[in-house]
């Protein structure tokens, strides 16, 4: 990984480092795949390598731009509804562009989060009172889960490719 692991320091530094490493791990599950493989559906859901990255970008917008910055959905810099549309990838979107979209959303989230203390709170419909600490930990959980999904999908794709079969 490009992001070095921080194992000692202030709580915030440790949490933000873990989140950044999980962001990077998620991207690495898809980086370098062909466009066809990035869209390959191996499970009944909308989960594909590229859709995991697209979903993660939407999660960044939902939690940081909407809930912490206070923007309405239409003011966000991309899809920010809390529904399955977060996994939707348009036919013309390329994997590299979706990765850039996620990295841009992540950077904006870092800036927004930097304006708050870990104990600051917001009221979020359907969630109640959340702290920034909780939000950062929830994103760690979300991206770690999806990086695991991406690892499994990539393993299936690479195995099929090396066997000469189509998954």
Q: Which of 149, 13, 122 is nearest to 62 (CA)?
A: 122
Is 3 part of a structural domain of the chain?
Answer: no
Is 144 part of a structural domain of the chain?
Answer: yes
Domain extent, residue 34, equals 11-162
- Residue-wise pLDDT for 20-70, tens only, equals 999 999 999 999 999 999 999 999 999 999 999 999 999 999 999 999 999
φ, ψ dihedrals at 108, nearest 5°: -65, -40
Query: What would the two tokens of residue 96 be?
Result: 């590299």
Q: Quote the number of domains for the chain.
A: 1
Is 6 part of a structural domain of the chain?
Answer: no
Is 2 part of a structural domain of the chain?
Answer: no
- Residue-wise pLDDT for 86-122, tens only, equals 999 999 999 999 999 999 999 999 999 999 999 999 9
Is 1 part of a structural domain of the chain?
Answer: no
* C-alpha angle 116-84-70 in degrees, rounded to nearest 5: 25
Is 110 part of a structural domain of the chain?
Answer: yes
- Which domain CATH number covers 102? 1.20.120.450
């Amino acid at each position: 990984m490009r992001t070095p692991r921080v194992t000692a320091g202030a709580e915030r530094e440790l949490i933000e480092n873990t989140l950044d490493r999980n962001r990077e791990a998620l991207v690495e599950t898809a980086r370098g795949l062909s466009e066809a493989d990035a869209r390959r559906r191996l499970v009944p859901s909308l989960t594909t390598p590229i859709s995991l990255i697209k979903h993660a970008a939407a999660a960044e917008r939902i939690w940081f731009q909407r809930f912490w910055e206070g923007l309405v959905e239409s003011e966000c810099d991309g899809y920010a509804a809390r529904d399955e549309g977060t996994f939707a990838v348009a036919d013309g979107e390329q994997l590299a562009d979706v990765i850039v979209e996620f990295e841009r959303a992540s950077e904006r989230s870092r800036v927004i989060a930097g304006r708050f203390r870990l104990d600051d709170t917001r009221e979020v419909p359907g969630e109640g009172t959340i702290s920034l600490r909780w939000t950062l930990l929830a994103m760690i959980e979300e991206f770690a889960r999806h990086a695991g999904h991406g690892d499994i999908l990539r393993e299936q794709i690479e195995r099929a490719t090396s066997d000469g079969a189509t998954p």
